[in-house]
Amino acid sequence: MFFSLRVSSSLTACLLLGAFTLAQTGLAQAQAPAAPTEAALDAVPAVRVVRPGEAVPGTPADLNASITVRYGPAKPNAVLLLMPGFLGGAGSFDRLARQIVALDGGVAVWAVDRRSNLLESGAAIADADPAGLVRIVQQGIPARPTSDLTFMKNWGLDTTLRDWREAVREARALTPNVFIGGHSLGGTLTSLYAGYDFGNAPFGAAPTPDDQIGFKGVRGLLMLDGAPGNTTSDPISWDQYQNGSVGRLGYVPGVNKLGEMPYVNSLIFNPTFASRAAAQARLAATAPDALAPAGGLVSYAATNLAAGLSQLEQQYSLLPFLTLRTGQATNAAAIPNPLPRLLGATENSQFVLGSADPSRPVGWKADADAATDPHDFVGRFWNPVSDYAEWYFPMRLSVDVGAAQLDTVGTPFATTLRVWHTRAVSTPILGIAAEHGITTENDYRRFAAFTRATVTTRTLPGASHLDITVAKSDQVARWTLNWMRGITGPAAVQVAQTPSP
């Protein structure tokens, strides 16, 4: 998502589908068109649904919630539930979800919002006029005091997975063909869900009923440029879990300090910056070539589009896991920036100093060969139904993921973080890497070997980490639907065939 780097820094999906018939299994058979039009994507219905989630002691009742943004039919033949990544919201799947539904109107995609998204001041963004958006870009929406959110210290892995499980249960009441997946950290959470024992008996004390083991309730696992052990959560020891540690992104508090730092609140990202990003995205969508607010996301004169996208474009972004490819800055004076390399980037980066010609602002030029369309991206970044970002990302989730990694059997974490892959997670896996992202196909193969699962791997050419869910191409959607069909049978999920690159 856009954020300030202070380093000096979208009712009828069937429009294109035509008629389809139901097989004896009750699953849709449809011959999808070669590629859905943008109008067809925008016509896909989407609704935000908030249901009761896991009851966590100390948490206000209205925040104990399981939240999904549901794309497609209310009575689907198959459901794919997708978990966003680090700092991400359900909106990060908006384009991919619409592509999948437009290709097969019998499939629904439910994008997850973690409960912390309920803390966002969405009304302020929705109600703001252009002048109001300018003010938000400049000043942001003040973050909620940490002292009011100490209950977030319990919003960790167990809470996140149990909230997700409520949505999985609801989907299973509609169809037996339920799949889960995620992007980036969401890919890791997908694996942890599969290996999670939702029962209450200690490990090894008694056999856990099948319906209490995560992978038993789903047909397959989809991981999008995110694999177990390959996330922004570094492995931590028991002492670090309790008392804190310093990771790749700075200090991470231990569970004993989470009351003081319940959500991500850093120089690079915090709730105030996230609100500024949402406002800048709205300005970029409605007036891309207008001058961005002074004192906003960049310190130099730039257009609204340039001010937002320069924060995420791979060649300019500081953080290698928050990058996409849309184009490049124009009229920009730039110098090499070594910092991304230190944070794990594999390609050289530049830092934009300002305008090459001071009489004109820095602008933005779309690249026809780039994976993502810049105007489409900013147009989907924020809307009243979903947000690309998660303003209040719970620190407890990062801490727990760092502790759990692949499995907790035989570790001090096994009592509370019940990730027990020793049960043999045999659920089929589809792992899709971004060519310029943070995973490789081998990362998925290693996890599949560890769990004894079958795995299919793909790589999206020319894509950076964020492109995997927002790209112009519908290749990821097609790979996903073809894989789902292979699991549920020929009559299950149908999609037009295209050669894989």
Rounded-to-integer distance, Cα 320 and Cα 347, Å: 9
Residue 140 domain-assigned (yes or no): yes
- In order of 335, 346, 421, 446, 450, the CA distances from 228 in angstroms are 35, 20, 12, 9, 11
DSSP per-residue codes, 18-53: ---EE-TTS-EE----SS--HHHHHHS-EEEEEEE-
Whole-model pTM: value is 0.90
Q: Residue 205 pLDDT more than 90?
A: no
Residue 74 domain-assigned (yes or no): yes
Rounded-to-integer distance, Cα 222 and Cα 430, Å: 5
Residue 161 domain-assigned (yes or no): yes
Residue 455 domain-assigned (yes or no): yes
Q: Residue 136 pLDDT more than 50?
A: yes
pLDDT tens-digit readout, 447-483 = 998 888 999 999 999 999 999 999 999 999 999 999 9
Among 18-27, 243-252, 306-315, where is mean pLDDT lowest? 18-27
Predicted pLDDT at 236: 85
Predicted pLDDT at 208: 63
Q: Residue 358 pLDDT more than 80?
A: yes
Q: Angle formed by the axes of helices 395-404 and 157-172, to 10°?
A: 90
Instruction: Tell which residue, 320, 341, 337, has the closest CA to residue 439.
Output: 320
Instruction: Tell which residue, 424, 475, 428, has the closest CA to residue 221.
Output: 428
Can you tell me the mean pLDDT for 242-249? 80
When pLDDT is cut at 50, 70 and 90, the band that residue 33 belongs to is low
When pLDDT is cut at 50, 70 and 90, the band that residue 24 belongs to is very low
CA–chain centroid gap for 222, Å, is 13
Domain holding 242, by residue range, is: 13-199+210-268+386-488
Residues 274 and 391 sit within 8 Å (Cβ to Cβ): yes
Residue 109 domain-assigned (yes or no): yes
DSSP assignment letter at 2: -
Residue 313 domain-assigned (yes or no): no
Residue 304 domain-assigned (yes or no): no
When pLDDT is cut at 50, 70 and 90, the band that residue 2 belongs to is very low
Residue 361 domain-assigned (yes or no): no
The mean pLDDT of the chain is: 87
Predicted pLDDT at 23: 32
pLDDT tens-digit readout, 334-354 = 998 887 766 666 677 889 999
Q: Which helix (H) or strand (E) holds 339?
A: helix 339-342
Can you tell me the mean pLDDT for 93-120? 97
Predicted pLDDT at 233: 60
Can you tell me the mean pLDDT for 486-494? 66
CATH number of the domain residue 479 falls in: 3.40.50.1820
Residues 78 and 177 sit within 8 Å (Cβ to Cβ): yes
Q: Residue 157 pLDDT more than 50?
A: yes
What does the buried/exposed string (b/e) look like for 71-81 if buried means 16 or more CB atoms within 10 Å of the residue's CB?
bbbeebbbbbb
pLDDT tens-digit readout, 162-201 = 999 999 999 999 999 999 999 999 999 999 999 999 987 6
When pLDDT is cut at 50, 70 and 90, the band that residue 3 belongs to is very low
SS3 114: coil
Sign of the dihedral defined by the CA atoms of residues 229, 235, 238, 241, in that order: negative
- Number of domains, the chain: 1
